[in-house]
Amino acid sequence: MEAFMTSDLTGLWPPSDPSKTHLPSSSQPFNQETLQQRLQQLIEGARESWTYAIFWQSSCDYSGASLLGWGDGYYKGEGDKGKAKIKTSSAVEQEHRKKVLRELNSLISGSTAPTDDSVDEEVTDTEWFFLVSMTQSFFVNGGGLPAQAFFSSSPIWVCGPERLMNSGCERARQGQVFGLQTMVCIPLANGVVEVGSTEVIVQNSDLMNKVRFLFNFNGMDIGSWPSSMQNPDQANNNPQISKGIQFENPSSTSLTENPKELNFSEYAYDHRNGNSHLLKPESGEILNFAESKRTEESNKKKRSPTSRGSNDEGMLSFTSVVKSSGGGGDSDHSDLEASVVKEVDSSRIVEPEKKPRKRGRKPANGREEPLNHVEAERQRREKLNQRFYALRAVVPNVSKMDKASLLGDAISYINELKSKLVNAESDKEDLQTQLESMKQEFDLKMSSHASKLIDMDIEVKVIGWDAMIRIQSSKKNHPAAKLMAALKELDLEVHHASMSVVNELMIQQATVKMGSRFYTQEQLKNILVAKVGDSR
Amino acid sequence: MEAFMTSDLTGLWPPSDPSKTHLPSSSQPFNQETLQQRLQQLIEGARESWTYAIFWQSSCDYSGASLLGWGDGYYKGEGDKGKAKIKTSSAVEQEHRKKVLRELNSLISGSTAPTDDSVDEEVTDTEWFFLVSMTQSFFVNGGGLPAQAFFSSSPIWVCGPERLMNSGCERARQGQVFGLQTMVCIPLANGVVEVGSTEVIVQNSDLMNKVRFLFNFNGMDIGSWPSSMQNPDQANNNPQISKGIQFENPSSTSLTENPKELNFSEYAYDHRNGNSHLLKPESGEILNFAESKRTEESNKKKRSPTSRGSNDEGMLSFTSVVKSSGGGGDSDHSDLEASVVKEVDSSRIVEPEKKPRKRGRKPANGREEPLNHVEAERQRREKLNQRFYALRAVVPNVSKMDKASLLGDAISYINELKSKLVNAESDKEDLQTQLESMKQEFDLKMSSHASKLIDMDIEVKVIGWDAMIRIQSSKKNHPAAKLMAALKELDLEVHHASMSVVNELMIQQATVKMGSRFYTQEQLKNILVAKVGDSR
DNA sequence: TGAGACACGTGACTC
DNA sequence: TGAGTCACGTGTCTC
């Protein structure tokens, strides 16, 4: 059964294959393989436990009326599978379901024998609801949650039994009957994603974002987003120079190389290829901390091809000789010579100080250690610069600033973010408490009417922070459990409690101590009437 | 009257002076001058318009029972002063109030003549409520909002007329009668701060934080906390100090500096003060990138007295020449030199190369230009390092790391903060919408009962996203205005509407189109019944 | 002209 | 020991 639902459905159910359906697709349908995968991803990874996800595909019938029909679906099942397979449906109903399934199966696969097994298990309510969904479709200007969502282009989130029943949607009503507590429809360009759950899940943007991510941006963006999110070195705000300079991620650097080992080879390479116009020194100079000058430089001085993975032939032979000799001679000049040699071809010979273009201190020639050291230091600087560059990318509003200012701005930006975060958190808390108190007030207001409806006698006496509670009610619906739950919820510590049943009457008595909040006698009574008297 | 209330009360009213009261103070009272200032600050700067603030001082009477009595108060008045002086109180009541005030005044000042003028104005309800508060006191284990807050050590926030009436507190009831809509009691160690407003102000942590800031931490912390907030150089994540971070109040930043201009001088100061045990070189070395070594160094090499505002003699002559030539007024370093100079006196003077301790390249002596350049470069490096240091302070979990890693961590930290912020914002939005829908549901549930109470006949027909509304009601209470307000609130676009009055009956008719949200017939009807039928 | 910014090579230091 | 980090003095470039 499980296997049938989660894997086979895609290709088997007629309407899921656009070529077989009678409905001409108005916009191109999602790729079927990935469609189900996305539905799966949508609810498998979620914090909340969604029971199923369905994609309703928009299309037009022959008359031209817009229609939403089964696109694909993924059934995950209830959160607590083992125990929660409540057999609310009768044996007759079960037989009916199995029969329908069997027929369906045979219709699809053409053979009845192997599929019989898979229909032997019980078919839960939600499974059934999911399955029958396949046969449904909605006129977008008619009723139905998916249609409403599609028509209005805005998501619909319905949770709680009453809301499902009162939504004015037959499908929602049915879902409620089959045990659903939450149904959400999110419209897309070419259809609607519906998810449902047997639990009450309050509205949150998590799901929306996920849908938007998984469905709306299925094109080019889907690859680039996650990586740019994760890697600080890649995150970047300036589109025009995102080229490869600051990228450290090996995965995306077919052209760039790990800066730890092989720096600037691309620049060097460019230069051997002549003065490439790809990177003009002028344009790069503002944005790069180090590279801009170097491009010019390397015309004069070929920068350290030694330890780099250069596969240029002429260079290579030369390099390897010098290097393998243990850097005995002025190997620091080796790369220098190399470039000179090249240039020799085109221009002139040995003069190492042709122009005073080179920056910083001239190399202290005639050493053996420094060569490596120099290179290492170079790399360190480079790494630092790349970090600077990356930092520049994540801190807003720091154009054409020097390092010190950049750091300063980064610091204040961090602080700004921090305080904003703190603010947002406290706002959140405010809202939360507001919500809590609202809920309580709700109980309070409800109670004035409810108390007349429920057959219950309640007495509350508050003395300081202590309270005495006496409830006399029908023993039905576990009033004791409800009372205790209420006490817990109200943060009332139980000092003493007793309950006894006489005939059909339960008498409860409790003395409690208030915890975090103070309630007046009336408040407490009203709340308890609401909570314990609640007939659910 | 005003002057009397806002300035004179402090010292005049008997109980506000602890020496005159019969109540022995259990904990030392706040300084009276600053006490009223704080109450004023508390509500004057607030976003919301609070009407008054009172500090209830905790004390014990002779029997040992704990008591809350008038500590001090600040009366600000209603938000819209000009028009809002509603004369709800009768002329008799006004006379009574004035008489009492006059008597009070004479009691205080001893003479009746000069004070008569000040009591000629009308005494508004809230003023009166504030004034009579002075005479009140509460047993902490008795009733009353302040006492409850103090006893439970948790704030109490009551808003809305019903809640005030139902709070079980006589004072709150009275406040409601006198026009208050919101009353808040926040407990402190030695009393309770109470604020009230004639407007409905929903609970938020802003006020709490402010109270905590102004009252609880009046000691040593008050100076250091705000600065750690503002200044990126000082901000810091360690849990024990994070408490104060969320305070943003700019009014308390006499110590902070603009990070853009004058950074980090305090760190420099610490270092030049010799090997202060506050920051040992060893421990500092993890934290400092440059300074730890420098402390030792500065004994050997006279560091950069040149371009700084040093007032040392030998150095000075040199310095002043260079400095006055425009070497950027780094006046923040001035204290720094002083300490260096100090060390010079104790050890030795000019010898720059005493030991080979110096790092990097030796100075190319015998030049005139480079010397200045060297100094400038030194300062640049120093500035950079201080920025690094500051950054380090702001980014958590970066102990003993090198600059590159620090930058990397900073970057990912920024990204982390960013995403957290985004999350928090969306959570906020979720809660907001939840709250909204809750409010609507509230209306919904209320309506089922309310509809029977209000004399009104309503008919709603929904067709697709259009709806037809017909309301027949008393012409009283501007039902048309209420309907239109409701339509606006529900985002229902009016296509057509008409209203006509027959005798005492108003008949309204409207056809509307639903906007962002879909309502079923029942929903819409219920909501409209609630909103239009509301007798307010 | 000159102050500021940057990168460089180098010596010192650390683990 | 040697790889890594840092600070220094310097050369160069740019407004």
Looking at the complex, does the CB of residue B391 fall below 8 Å from at least one CB of chain A?
Answer: yes
- Residue B221 CA, nucleotide D5 C1', distance (Å): 38
Mean pLDDT, residues A448-464 taken together? 69
Contact A417 B415 (CB under 8 A): no
B418 and A417 within 8 Å at the Cβ level: the answer is yes
> What pLDDT, on a 0 to 100 scale, did the predictor assign at position A144?
80
Of all nucleotides, the one whose C1′ comes closest to residue B366's CA is D9
> Does the beta carbon of B203 lie under 8 angstroms from any beta carbon of chain A?
yes
Which has the higher per-residue pLDDT, B511 or B304? Answer: B511
What per-residue confidence (pLDDT) applies to B110?
A: 56
What angle (nearest 5°) sits at the alpha carbon of residue A141, between those of residues A139 and A144? 65
DSSP-derived letter for residue A22 is S
Q: Which nucleotide does the CA of B401 lie closest to, via C1'?
A: D5
CA distance B71 to chain A (A): 24
Residue A119: the pLDDT is 59
* pLDDT tens digit sequence for A154-166: 888 888 877 888 7
Å between B507 CA and nearest CA of chain A: 28
> How confident is residue A299, by pLDDT bands cut at 50, 70 and 90?
very low
pLDDT class for B447, splitting at 50, 70, 90? low
Least confident of A68-77, B300-309, B505-514: B300-309
Check: CB of residue B237 under 8 Å from CB of residue B246. no
Protein residues with beta carbon less than 7 Å from any atom of strand D: A 293, 356-362, 372-373, 376-377, 380, 384; B 288-290, 293-294, 297, 301, 303, 358-365, 367, 370-371, 373-374, 377-378, 381-382, 385, 402-404
Model confidence at B75: pLDDT above 60:
yes
Q: Is B373 on the interface with A (CB under 8 A)?
A: no
**Cβ contact B434–A202 (<8 Å):** yes
Q: How far is A312 from chain B (nearest CA, A)?
A: 32
How large is the average pLDDT for residues B506-523? 85
Minimal CA–CA distance to A36: which of A1, A84, A73?
A73
Q: Cα separations (Å) of A30 from A38, A41, A235, A468, B4?
A: 10, 15, 30, 63, 76
In the sheet where B191-197 sits, what is the strand order?
B137-139, B66-75, B52-60, B191-197, B182-187, B156-159
Task: Give the residue from A84, A171, A95, A120 showing the smallest Cα distance to A4.
Answer: A120
pLDDT band, residue B367 (cuts 50/70/90): very low
Convert the pLDDT of each residue in A383-441 to its tens digit.
888 888 888 888 887 766 688 888 888 888 888 898 899 888 888 888 888 888 777 76
Q: Mark residues 335-394 of chain B whose C-beta is closer than 7 A to nucleic acid strand C.
A: 356-361, 372-373, 376-377, 380
pLDDT for the residue numbered A28: 45
Between chain A and chain B, the number of residue pairs with CB atoms below 8 A apart is 200
Task: Considering only residues A84 and B43, tell me which one the structure prediction assigns the higher pLDDT.
Answer: B43
Is A488's CB less than 7 Å from nucleic acid strand C?
no
Query: pLDDT by residue (tens digit) across A495-526?
Result: 888 888 877 788 889 999 988 778 888 788 87
Q: Per DSSP, what are the bridge partners of residue B181?
A: none
Mean pLDDT of A320-331: 34
- Name the helix (H) or strand (E) containing B485: helix B479-489
> Which of A394, A374, A293 shows the shortest CA–CA distance to A331?
A374
pLDDT at residue number A183:
94
A407–chain B Cβ distance below 8 A for any pair? yes
Q: Which of A270-284, A459-473, A510-524 has the lowest mean pLDDT?
A: A270-284
Which residue would you say has higher pLDDT here, B19 or A409? Answer: A409
Pick from B307, B313, B323: which is nearest to B374 by CA?
A: B307
**What does the mean pLDDT of chain A come to?**
65
B494 pLDDT more than 60: yes
**Which one-letter amino acid corresponds to residue B272?**
R
Mean pLDDT of A308-330: 33
Across the range B176-180, mean pLDDT stands at 86
Q: Which pair of tokens denotes residue B191?
A: 């009393």
Contact A371, A331 (CB under 8 A): yes
* pLDDT confidence band for B304 (50 / 70 / 90): very low
Instruction: Report which residue is nearest nucleotide D8 when distances run from CA to C1'.
Output: B360
What was the pLDDT predicted at B362?
Answer: 42
Average pLDDT over residues B506-510: 89
CA nearest neighbour of B246 among A420, A2, A382: A420
Asked if pLDDT for residue B236 goes beyond 50, the answer is no
Distance, in Å, from the CA atom of B388 to the CA atom of B400, rounded to the nearest integer, reads 13
* Closest by Cα among A44, A42, A75, A39 to A57: A39
The closest alpha carbon to B227, from B211, B207, B251, belongs to B251
For B350-354, what is the mean pLDDT? Answer: 35
Q: Is the pLDDT of residue A358 over 60?
A: no
Cα distance from A29 to chain B (closest Cα, Å)?
27
As a whole number, mean pLDDT of residues A320-333 equals 34
pLDDT digits (tens, 9 = 90+) for A73-84: 899 888 665 444
- Residue A403 in contact with partner chain B when CB distance is under 8 A: yes
Beta-carbon separation of A394 and B411 below 8 A: yes
What residues 503-522 of chain B have any CB closer than 8 A to a CB of chain A?
514, 516-518, 520-522
Mean pLDDT, rounded, of chain B: 65
Q: Which nucleotides of C are covered by protein (CB under 7 A)?
A: 2-13
A171 phi-psi bin (left φ>0, alpha ψ -120 to 50, beta other): alpha
CB–CB contact B428 A427 (8 Å): yes
A382 touches strand C (CB under 7 A): yes
Interchain proximity B424–A419, CB inside 8 Å: no
Q: How far is the CA of B272 from the C1' of D12 (A)?
A: 33
The structure tokens listed for B370 are 């480079």
What pLDDT is stored for residue A480 in this prediction? 86
Asked whether residue B326 carries a pLDDT value surpassing 50, the answer given is no
| A421/B424 CB distance under 8 A | yes
Q: State how far the Cα of A380 lies from the Cα of B460, in Å rounded to an integer.
A: 74
Distance, CA of B402 to C1' of D2, in Å: 19
- Test B427 with A428 for CB contact under 8 angstroms: yes
Residue percentage of chain B with pLDDT more than 90: 5
SS3 A53: strand
* Residue with token string 């015309």: A299
Q: Could you say which of B204, B420, B521 has the minimum Cβ distance to residue A430?
A: B204
Q: What is the pLDDT of residue A468?
A: 93
CA of A289 to C1' of D12 (A): 15
CB A357 under 7 Å to nucleic chain C: no
CB proximity A435 to B under 8 Å: yes
* Residue B214 near chain A (CB below 8 Å): no
Per-residue model confidence as pLDDT tens digits over A33-55:
688 888 998 998 787 889 999 99
* Cβ–Cβ below 8 Å for A407 and B415: no
pLDDT confidence bin for A185, thresholds 50/70/90: very high
Distance from C-alpha of A236 to C-alpha of A232, rounded to nearest angstrom = 8
Selection from B30-34, B264-268, B276-280 with the highest mean pLDDT:
B30-34
Task: Give, in Å, how far the C1' of C8 lies from the CA of A370.
Answer: 13
Q: Å from B300 (CA) to D8 (C1')?
A: 15
More confident residue, B193 or A500: B193
Residues B358-373 have a mean pLDDT of: 50
**Beta strand ranges found along A180-254 (DSSP E):** 182-187, 191-197
Whole-number pLDDT of residue A298: 36
Picking from B154, B403, B413, the nearest residue to A414 by CB comes out as B413
In angstroms, how far is D8 C1' from A322 CA?
Answer: 30
Task: Report the complex ipTM.
Answer: 0.46
Of A206, A408, A424, the CB nearest to B424: A424
CA distance B95 to B92: 5
A362: the nucleotide nearest its CA (via C1') is C9
| A365 CB and strand C closer than 7 A | yes
- By Cβ distance, the residue of A410, A516, A521 closest to B154 is A516
Give, in Å, how far the C1' of D14 lies from the CA of A356: 16
Q: Which of A335-344, B66-75, B81-90, B281-290 has the highest mean pLDDT?
A: B66-75
Residue A96 has pLDDT above 50, yes or no: yes
- Higher pLDDT residue, B358 or A320? B358
Q: Which residues between 58 and 87 in chain A have a beta carbon less than 8 angstroms from any beta carbon of chain B?
A: none
**B162, B156, B186: which is closest to B176 by C-alpha?**
B162
Residue A387 confidence (pLDDT): 83
Average pLDDT over residues B105-124: 60
pLDDT exceeds cutoff 60 at A221:
no
Which among A248, A387, A397, A401 is the top mutation candidate for probing chain B, defined by the most B β-carbons within 10 Å of its own β-carbon?
A: A387
Answer whether B392's CB lies under 8 Å from B398's CB: yes
